[in-house]
Amino acid sequence: VFLLSLSCLSIANTCLGCYLYATALLMHFAIHTMDYSSSSMAEDDNLLLPLKEWVDLSKLAEEQQQSSLPSPENIRNAQMDYIARAVVVAAVVLDKLLILEENNYNWCPQDISIDNVHLEMGAGDVNMLRQRNTTINLSSLQGIQGVKLSIPQNHTSNGGVSPDEIFKKVGLILYSIFTRGEVPPSAGVEAENNTVEEAMLNARGRIKRRGDELDDSSHDESDSYEEQAGPNKGRQKVSVQEATKTFRRMNISNVEDALFQKGVSSSLCRLIVDLIIAPEEKDTKFQSLSDAVAELQQIMRRPDACFGRDTDSNNSTTDLLSLQFGDGIVGRTEEVGTLLEASARAQMDTESSHICLIGGTAGVGKSYLVESVKDALTSNGWIYLSCKFDRLMRNQPLVTIASAMEIFVQQLINVRGLPDGFDVDAVIASIEQSLSASGIVVLSDLVPSLRVLYRSVFAHVIMDDSEDDLNYVVAEATPDEDDGDEMGISSANTLRNRLHYLFGRLVEAISSVEHPIFLFLDDMQWADASSLELLLSLLVSGDHDDDNTQCLLVAGAFRSNEVDEAHMLSRYIQKFEEAMSVNVTSIQLDVITKSATHILTSEALLLPLRLTRGLADVVHSKSLGNPLFAKSLLRQLVDENILRYSLPKKRWVWDINDVKSVSVDDNVAELMKHKLLRLPNEIQDALKLISCFGTQVSKDIVSKLRSSSENSDDAITTFLEQAREEHILDHNDQVYKFAHDMLQQSAYDLMSPEEKGAYHFNIGLRLMSSVSTEASYDALIFTVIDQINNAKRYGVTEASMNISCAKMNLQAGKRSMEVSDFVSAWQYVVYGISFLPEAKWESSTYELTLSLHEAGALACFVNVDSTNLQINLGEIFENAVRFEDKIKAYYILAQNLASLNRLKEAMTTVLFVLNELGEDFPEEVSPEDVQTAMMSTQRLLDGYSKEDIVGVPRLKDEKKQWAVKLMDFLTPCVFMMSPRLLPILANHMINILVKDGACKESAFGLSNYSLCLITLRHDYEAGYSYGKMAIALLESFGAMGSLQKVKCMLQNMVNYLFEPIQSTANVLLESYEGLRATGDNEFACLALSMYSDQLIMSGCLLPVVEKKCEEFALRSMRLHQLQYCRNLCCTHNRVLSLTGNAEGKNPFDLLRDNDIATEDDLLQESLSTGRSGLSQRIYFLRMFTSFWLKKYNKAAEFAAQFRNAGRISMRFIDIYCTFYEGLAVFHLARCSTDKVIKSKWMDIGEKSVDRFKVWQEHSSWNFENKLYLLQAECHRCAGENDNADAKYLAAIESARRHRLLHEEGLAMELYASFLEETGESEKSKTRLSLAIECYEKWGATAVVKLLHN
């Protein structure tokens, strides 16, 4: 309790009620831990201040505060400050008395008096308060540390004090505290010793004055009397029973009036009055002081009840007569704590992603639970964003989650609704830097306010090819369009990945540890696949590192009874739980307990629990503990006038028998439906109308419906406003929203299927007239076509509109694909096809039919719906008239085959199409074909400079465009399946480039030729030159995605031959960022794999490489790039063997694959599946580490296996394999006594020297030291010691000069071995020490250990 109090106090500035409650709890804690002796002296430095004196001082403080600024507002504030202090003191006093009661204290009447109560306070506070000539220090008044009860010396316990007398004494103490030391009016206190007749005489005038407020009372003639003659002659006959009740009411009224005049709320008044004057009803009497303590604590938990509306003259009668459910939440303390704990974890642990999943049936308060923590989160700097999925309407794809970001951007623009201390300018700059201009443009389709926030960007932005990707999704592939591209698997995935990446960067730019994001997704059982994919990407695919910090907690609420194992959401929940980087918190909400229903009922009526207990029992029984059901039932009781507000009694009243007799429905939905049926028909019709849009509808749409109707009046708005007054709708400046989705469902279900269809069709028809002139065309067309499609679902159509509807569905489907929502796209295509006539392939609808089936094939392909994919492709292959009309279908077919790893079939399909387009390829590639192709390409490019290539006209021929595109698709298949075909492929692409024109795919023809020149002809300069041409051509197209891809390949296969390795490594890392930004996750992870190779070979510190490999492998796994994750696990595994950290670590655990638990398992799989690239990589890494760990035989063996794996290429690792193999075989040659074997080793080593002589000519930075070291070893084997000595020294100096730390150490080590061999032991030791020093800096602990041994 003490710790909870401290937590409450931490938000004291934002919630006075929490402050009061927390203070009372602190006092409660203090009292329970102190010595309850009756001594009148305080211990240590504390003094006792009589309660009466505290009241006088506090009253004086109030007067001083009021006189300082005699305005009504200040007077009111001073009054409320006094009451705040009084509530705390009252709680402390009641707690003390309760403890005595629980300890069976024997009361006597004299004990319970304000004169006997003393407050224990610090001596300094007491002394300061007693300095009457100064202003009262308010903090000193609040410095209460406990309560002492001074027992009078004449205390005698007769054991006869009744509970009612004790309650009355306690009530008098509270009365005195709150009325600033006054005593109750005489009618309420002194009359207890008077006769009824005397009391009636005294109260006669008051009865007349207040007669209008008295309820009718029954008369009992048997108890009546009549006045005698005399001075009082003429009195009326009045019953004794009526007189007693009247006098009692007068007592209560007098006490209440006195308290109200002091600013005390009705709830506190009721507590005090019922203590002083015991209620007549047995069920509402106090049973013990614990009831009074609980009631005061309940009042303190609800500040609106404590400082209530009934004391505010500005409140209307309507507010007074309405139920007050408030913003608090009851019965969910544990769940609130769990949610807040999850938020604390998310704020502290930025290396993981966090999601809190909240399940429960409809109406149990899932949304309410999340909203209840909103204030606590925002007060601590959180950015609270929320959105709600809808069961009825899809509207614009991804718009649900994007709407939350849209609201936030609007807050940035208006600079409101943001946490305290939020740096708006810094976040705006961060978003622009993180997204780049093109990224902002892409996201602006989903977050339109970005166009307002970044006006300058939209004025000057130059679109890159990723925006072209957005265009070519909906573009026809015509010769006059530069980017007449058609989306296939790579383009579809690239676009989806880019959107996911940009959303992730947006979250990273906005969030921080100081201002994390809380994203609430409501009704996730209705979430679409695209939104769930985006959520999965945000949680699983984020780059959690020092440069990219995502501080995000997602809270998702869903109806668990509607989500079974087959539900789509279940599959995603499983993915969240299986992801190692995602921290999942689960909360299951059940119905609330009976005690929670008691609190809910009590607080709704602003009555204490003791007064509502019977009503709450019935409500709980009928609602079965469902909070929404309980609230609806209470509102039903009000509607039926069973529960009503009594102005004379100033409280809600009811007849419990009438409550019990109310019939209720079996579920919440039926209860809601019956509530709606009680409304006037006009309001029902308005609710039916907007229910067709789902749980909410924009006011702009309602305005369009009004303007398009025959009666352009405010009738709809008027009825919707009346529905709001009935608590059915909420609204703000932008939308009408059902108060709960169950209300929307109930309103929708008021209609028959035929009526639903008619409503939907009428709405679509009325809005369609706005489409052509509407600025925000995209959003409106989705609304229109969704209404038309829903009407068709119920059998309502109009034949004359079918073609228009089919076209609109096609447009909606293409737009869905633009934002990577291929599930919705397929649904729109299905509807579009359903609107076509039976003879759809006839000329009038031929093009529309073809486009719909092409879009359908693509959507099914991305959705992995093979059945419908084959149906759509079959329709095209069977009915398309021209071959050109089938090309797109063949393209999708080929990519589907490739995605299934059926590369040979994919190649066959593409080669068939290319042959039909006039591009012939040989079935079997001979060496002569390769040479012919190389020579032909050389002639084609002869005389072309980089400027000439960039100046080539753009390709316009549609067939040639498709041919180049298909050959570009074919390139990776050729690399893996038929490398000898690569020169021929490059020749065809460059032939079209030179003779017909250039497109962005032409650059891949140049890069392919570059690789062929280096690999086949060893013409490094020419290869490097054509690589530069490829980059220049892509830059001229502004094709950033393709540019990063080509750069990535060239850095690993060409540029390292000319540029410093440290430079090419950094370019690869930059390419990763660029590829992620364009959505090409596959090539992005390939760049990471290549970067890790170059990082380790560049001499980067091994601990850094180890961390990077682990981080990159995890990124690749998050991005679903298993191939490159495996590559990085292999590199990580080998680095661990060099750093000596391998024990207890297995990088392959990341794969979570029982079949791939070790590197050996991975090698066996790669060999069995023919993945030569992976097996070569493993052999290379094994050769590398074997060499460093002095296992030279193994190193030579692995090098031979690397060469024999069969791939024809010239890659980065090929050169380094040559280097380490050369050093290993020279060592083996020196150790060999067999001349034949020694000759074999020397032959391999000398070939290594020869190759490095060539390579060194192009890059002395990368290869000079390696050449010197190989030459030194070669001279050493030949016994040419002087030459060897000179080359060793040259290798050491060159490695140092070119910042190759590890190779400097290696040259030192081999030189030390050479010196030892030649008898110069002391020099050898010195060089060996220097080698060890280099290795220690490098982090190669295992190597150092070997040398020490």
Mean pLDDT of all residues in 655-665 = 85
Q: How crowded is residue 1199: how many other Cβ atoms within 10 Å of its Cβ?
A: 25
Asked which of 82-91, 140-149, 1327-1336 is least confident by mean pLDDT, the reply is 140-149
Asked which of 163-177, 241-255, 736-750, 1229-1243 is least confident by mean pLDDT, the reply is 241-255
Segment 1112-1143, tens digit of pLDDT: 998 888 888 888 899 999 999 999 999 999 88
The answer on pLDDT for 878 being more than 60 is: yes
Distance from C-alpha of 84 to C-alpha of 78, rounded to nearest angstrom: 10
Locate the DSSP E strands across 597-675.
Answer: 643-646, 651-654
The answer on pLDDT for 807 being more than 60 is: yes
Specify the residue for token string 């009831």: 291
Residue 190 CA: distances (Å) to CA of 183, 275, 430, 962? 10, 16, 74, 105
Distance from C-alpha of 739 to C-alpha of 696, rounded to nearest angstrom: 9
Task: Quickly state the pLDDT bin for 1237 (edges 50, 70, 90).
Answer: very high
Check residues 490 and 928 and name the one with the higher pLDDT: 928
Q: Residue type for 225, please?
A: Y
* H or E element that contains 353: strand 353-360
Q: For residue 971, which phi and psi values (nearest 5 degrees)?
A: -55, -55
Residue 1313 · residue 1347 · CB < 8 Å:
no
Q: What's the token pair of residue 95? A: 């707690």
Q: For residue 1120, which phi and psi values (nearest 5 degrees)?
A: 65, 35
Q: How crowded is residue 709: how many other Cβ atoms within 10 Å of its Cβ?
A: 13
Spell out the long-range contacts of 329-334 with Cβ–Cβ below 8 A and sequence spacing 24 or more: 329/365, 329/368, 329/369, 329/372, 330/592, 330/596, 330/599, 330/600, 330/603, 330/627, 331/592, 331/593, 331/595, 331/596, 331/597, 331/599, 331/600, 331/627, 332/365, 332/369, 332/372, 332/589, 332/592, 332/596
Share of the chain residues as helix, strand and coil, in percent rounded to the nearest 5: 65, 5, 25
Give the three-state DSSP class for 454. coil
Check residues 1287 and 609 and name the one with the higher pLDDT: 1287
Non-local CB neighbours of 38 within 8 Å, separated by 6+ positions: 148, 149, 150, 151
Please, what is the average pLDDT of the chain? 83
Q: What's the token pair of residue 1207? A: 């791939």
How confident is the model at residue 304, as a pLDDT?
Answer: 57
Q: What's the token pair of residue 683? A: 């309001």
Distance from C-alpha of 381 to C-alpha of 455, rounded to nearest angstrom: 28
Segment 967-1009, tens digit of pLDDT: 999 988 887 778 889 999 999 999 999 999 999 999 999 999 9
Distance from C-alpha of 1038 to C-alpha of 1032, rounded to nearest angstrom: 10
How confident is the model at residue 945, as a pLDDT?
Answer: 93
Q: What's the token pair of residue 739? A: 């108060």
The answer on pLDDT for 231 being more than 60 is: no
How confident is the model at residue 892, as a pLDDT?
Answer: 93
How confident is the model at residue 394, as a pLDDT?
Answer: 55
How confident is the model at residue 465, as a pLDDT?
Answer: 41
Residue 132 CA: distances (Å) to CA of 61, 66, 75, 137? 11, 17, 22, 11
Q: Residue type for 782, please?
A: F
Distance from C-alpha of 1105 to C-alpha of 861, rounded to nearest angstrom: 39
Q: Give the residue among 546, 508, 538, 505 at the shortest CA–CA distance from 521.
A: 538
Which DSSP symbol is given to 998? B
How confident is the model at residue 240, as a pLDDT?
Answer: 60
The answer on pLDDT for 71 being more than 60 is: yes
Q: What's the token pair of residue 372? A: 């209840």
Q: What's the token pair of residue 1223? A: 């050093």
Segment 262-299, tens digit of pLDDT: 888 888 888 898 899 888 777 778 888 888 888 888 88
Adjacent-strand bridge partners of 558: 359
Distance from C-alpha of 23 to C-alpha of 11, rounded to nearest angstrom: 12
Q: For residue 645, which phi and psi values (nearest 5 degrees)?
A: -95, 125
Mean pLDDT of all residues in 383-393 = 86
Q: What's the token pair of residue 32? A: 């329970």
How confident is the model at residue 27, as a pLDDT?
Answer: 52
Q: What's the token pair of residue 779? A: 């959003």
Distance from C-alpha of 1194 to C-alpha of 1179, rounded to nearest angstrom: 10
Distance from C-alpha of 949 to C-alpha of 999, rounded to nearest angstrom: 11
Q: Are strands 517-522 and 552-559 parallel, antiparallel or unpaired?
A: parallel
Q: Give the residue among 554, 510, 552 at the shortest CA–CA distance from 532.
A: 554
Cα dihedral 482, 483, 484, 486, rounded to 10, equals 160
Asked which of 242-246, 715-719, 736-740, 1118-1122 is least confident by mean pLDDT, the reply is 242-246
How confident is the model at residue 708, as a pLDDT?
Answer: 61
The answer on pLDDT for 632 being more than 70 is: yes
pTM, rounded to two decimals = 0.74
How confident is the model at residue 545, as a pLDDT?
Answer: 56
Residue 385 · residue 521 · CB < 8 Å:
no
DSSP 491-518: HHHHHHHHHHHHHHHHHHHH--SSS-EE
Segment 1038-1063, tens digit of pLDDT: 887 788 888 888 888 888 889 999 88
The answer on pLDDT for 1333 being more than 90 is: yes
Segment 331-376, tens digit of pLDDT: 898 999 999 999 999 998 888 899 999 999 988 999 999 999 999 9
Q: Are strands 144-149 and 46-50 parallel, antiparallel or unpaired?
A: unpaired
Specify the residue for token string 């020099």: 1323
* H or E element that contains 1343: helix 1341-1348
* H or E element that contains 239: strand 238-239
Q: Give the residue among 488, 494, 489, 563 at the shortest CA–CA distance from 532.
A: 563
The answer on pLDDT for 35 being more than 80 is: no
Mean pLDDT of all residues in 813-824 = 83
Q: Give the residue among 970, 950, 959 at the shortest CA–CA distance from 484.
A: 959
The answer on pLDDT for 908 being more than 90 is: yes
Distance from C-alpha of 874 to C-alpha of 855, rounded to nearest angstrom: 14
Check residues 1234 and 69 and name the one with the higher pLDDT: 1234
Non-local CB neighbours of 1255 within 8 Å, separated by 6+ positions: 1020, 1057, 1215, 1262, 1263, 1267
How confident is the model at residue 159, as a pLDDT?
Answer: 56
Q: Residue type for 622, please?
A: K
Adjacent-strand bridge partners of 559: 360
The answer on pLDDT for 191 being more than 80 is: no
Distance from C-alpha of 874 to C-alpha of 869, rounded to nearest angstrom: 8
Identify how many contiguous H helices and E strands the chain contains and give both numbers. 63, 15
Adjacent-strand bridge partners of 735: 698
Q: Are strands 696-698 and 735-738 parallel, antiparallel or unpaired?
A: antiparallel
Per-position b or e across 83-100, b if 16+ CB within 10 A of its CB: bbbbbbbbbbbbbbbbbb
Task: Quickly state the pLDDT bin for 319 (edges 50, 70, 90).
Answer: low
Residue 766 · residue 788 · CB < 8 Å:
no
Segment 535-592, tens digit of pLDDT: 998 998 766 555 567 899 999 999 999 999 999 999 999 999 988 889 999 999 999 9
The answer on pLDDT for 187 being more than 70 is: no
How confident is the model at residue 1337, as a pLDDT?
Answer: 96
Q: What is the share, in percent, of the chain residues with pLDDT greater than 70?
A: 84
Mean pLDDT of all residues in 692-720 = 78
Give the three-state DSSP class for 519. strand
Distance from C-alpha of 632 to C-alpha of 622, rounded to nearest angstrom: 11
Segment 1142-1154, tens digit of pLDDT: 888 999 998 888 8
Locate the DSSP E strands across 31-73.
Answer: 46-50
How confident is the model at residue 684, as a pLDDT?
Answer: 92
Specify the residue for token string 């655990």: 1149
Locate all alpha helices (DSSP H) within 511-562, ordered by sequence.
529-540
Q: How crowded is residue 231: how many other Cβ atoms within 10 Å of its Cβ?
A: 7
Residue 561 · residue 555 · CB < 8 Å:
no
Q: How crowded is residue 79: how many other Cβ atoms within 10 Å of its Cβ?
A: 17
